[in-house]
């Protein structure tokens, strides 16, 4: 089977490439990635040695995408490529629309024109908006789509396009909406790697607002296994929630990380809340378990130990201070005046 993995040099994409190669060694994989601040080709070094093909480029580049599909004749597309940082989307939404919405549409057209057998789109629980602090509800696949940030709005728009290509053109699609991931290869401006690097250096851990915002955390390897379960056993035209049954307040995460480094909780400080900050996410993934048997396997304790160990062994510099190449668009990123504090 020939597989296109877009965004495969980013956090989850990289983990997925290694999982797919291990679980389905007979498949031929190609990664298309724009290598923005979060995408690093070096993540894929071992995979390239083992036969992975890599193309640097943007999913919204129609001529590149069309020629790739024509040449490679992909059977399966797994679309991870996206701008993903909520704070960046508040600073400059435009590139989120280009990459996440227009890029997905270009991929869908290419998949349709070249008879792709399955188009699996990676989405997020953030498309559902949030649940209040006092709520005990969980998002199901039937929950209303009510995104709060330009990031989640762009993901919701791409989900709707994917479902429209199924309904209108019969493109064989599926979508997964996952809760927050943590694990190796995540860009250091996201919450958990940022808190790890601050705790390691004995610096303050800055949390938005009261630090009480709740997220459901899933180890990235479990997410990758869930995606493969959906591709192999899930139904075409269906949406599947993926979650960790592991709701934690940001302040609890900070405390756990400080304990790993034997640091005092006095290092936790609070800053002005993010605009439109979602209060709580909680996800009902019983449909996925019922249809495919998938369940999260890695406990938070074990996942955090593996994650911290990985960041100890791999120095991942923070992108906006490292002078790495940035994607140039008509309105390229504004300078990062704010400190990315608890980006999820």
Ligand X SMILES: NC(=O)c1ccc[n+]([C@@H]2O[C@H](COP(=O)([O-])OP(=O)(O)OC[C@H]3O[C@@H](n4cnc5c(N)ncnc54)[C@H](O)[C@@H]3O)[C@@H](O)[C@H]2O)c1
Which residue of 20, 118, 120, 155 would you call a contact of ligand X, by CB under 6 A? 155
* Shortest distance in whole angstroms from residue 262 CB to ligand X: 27
User: Applying CB under 6 A, does 307 fall inside the site for ligand X?
Assistant: no
Q: Which stretch binds ligand X (CB under 6 A): 1-9, 130-138, 139-147, 166-174?
A: 1-9
Q: Catalytic one among 33, 60, 125, 130?
A: 125
Nearest to 145 by CA among 155, 136, 135, 137: 155
Nearest to 269 by CA among 280, 278, 281, 258: 258
User: Applying CB under 6 A, does 184 fall inside the site for ligand X?
Assistant: no
Q: In what order do the strands lie in the sheet with 180-182?
A: 180-182, 214-219, 247-249
User: Applying CB under 6 A, does 104 fall inside the site for ligand X?
Assistant: no
Q: Name the residue with the smallest CB distance to ligand X.
A: 10
User: Applying CB under 6 A, does 156 fall inside the site for ligand X?
Assistant: no
Measured on CA atoms in the order 24, 184, 148, 100, is the torsion positive or negative? negative
Catalytic site includes residue 151: yes
The CA-atom distances, in angstroms, between 287 and each of 128, 238, 243, 245 are 17, 10, 11, 14
User: Applying CB under 6 A, does 34 fall inside the site for ligand X?
Assistant: yes
User: Applying CB under 6 A, does 33 fall inside the site for ligand X?
Assistant: yes
User: Applying CB under 6 A, does 120 fall inside the site for ligand X?
Assistant: no
Contact assessment for residue 124 and residue 281, using Cβ atoms and an 8 Å cutoff: no
User: Applying CB under 6 A, does 178 fall inside the site for ligand X?
Assistant: yes
**What is the H or E stretch that residue 29 is in?**
strand 28-33
Contact assessment for residue 158 and residue 120, using Cβ atoms and an 8 Å cutoff: no
Contact assessment for residue 6 and residue 79, using Cβ atoms and an 8 Å cutoff: yes
Site string for ligand X, 5-24 (x = CB under 6 A): -xx-xxxxx-----------
Q: Which stretch binds ligand X (CB under 6 A): 65-73, 108-116, 179-187, 248-256?
A: 179-187
d(CA 205, CA 7): 29
Count CA within 13 A, CB hemisphere, residue 223: 29
Number of residues engaging ligand X in binding (CB under 6 A): 30
Contact assessment for residue 243 and residue 285, using Cβ atoms and an 8 Å cutoff: yes
Catalytic site includes residue 126: yes
d(CA 17, CA 287): 25
Q: Catalytic one among 33, 126, 187, 216?
A: 126
User: Applying CB under 6 A, does 29 fall inside the site for ligand X?
Assistant: no
Return the number of the residue (6 or 263) whose C-beta is nearest ligand X. Answer: 6
* Catalytic annotation, residues: 125-126, 151
Site residues for ligand X per CB under 6 A: 6-7, 9-13, 33-36, 38-39, 58-60, 80-84, 99, 103, 122, 124, 155, 178, 180-181, 187
């Amino acid at each position: 089977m020939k597989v296109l993995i877009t965004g495969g040099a980013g956090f989850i994409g990289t983990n997925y490439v290694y999982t797919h190669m291990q679980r389905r060694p007979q498949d031929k994989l190609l990664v298309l990635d724009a290598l923005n601040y979060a995408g690093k080709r070096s993540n894929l070094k071992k995979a390239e040695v083992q036969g992975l093909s890599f193309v640097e480029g943007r999913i919204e580049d129609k001529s590149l995408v069309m020629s790739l599909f024509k040449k490679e004749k992909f059977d399966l597309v797994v679309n991870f490529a996206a701008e993903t940082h909520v704070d960046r989307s508040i600073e400059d939404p435009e590139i989120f629309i280009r990459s996440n919405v227009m890029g997905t549409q270009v991929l869908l057209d290419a998949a349709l024109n070249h008879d792709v057998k399955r188009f699996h789109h990676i989405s997020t629980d953030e498309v559902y908006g949030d649940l209040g602090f006092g709520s005990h509800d969980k998002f199901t696949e039937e929950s209303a789509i009510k995104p709060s940030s330009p990031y989640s709005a762009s993901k919701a728009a791409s989900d709707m396009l994917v479902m429209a290509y199924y309904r209108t053109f019969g493109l064989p699609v599926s979508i997964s909406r996952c809760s927050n991931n943590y694990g190796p290869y995540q860009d250091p401006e996201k919450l958990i790697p940022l808190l790890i690097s601050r705790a390691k250096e004995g610096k303050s851990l800055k949390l938005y607002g009261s630090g009480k915002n709740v997220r459901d955390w899933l180890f990235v390897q479990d997410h990758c296994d869930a995606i493969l379960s959906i591709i192999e056993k899930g139904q075409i035209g269906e949406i599947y929630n993926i979650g960790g049954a592991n709701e934690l307040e940001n302040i609890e995460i900070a405390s756990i990380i400080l304990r790993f480094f034997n640091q005092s909780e006095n290092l936790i400080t609070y800053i002005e809340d993010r605009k439109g900050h979602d209060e709580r996410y909680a996800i009902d993934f019983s449909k996925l378990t019922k249809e495919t048997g998938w369940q999260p396997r890695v406990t938070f304790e074990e996942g955090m130990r593996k994650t911290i160990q990985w960041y100890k062994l791999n120095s991942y510099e923070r992108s906006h201070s490292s002078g790495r190449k940035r994607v140039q668009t008509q309105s390229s990123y504004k300078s990062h005046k704010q400190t990315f504090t608890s980006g999820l």
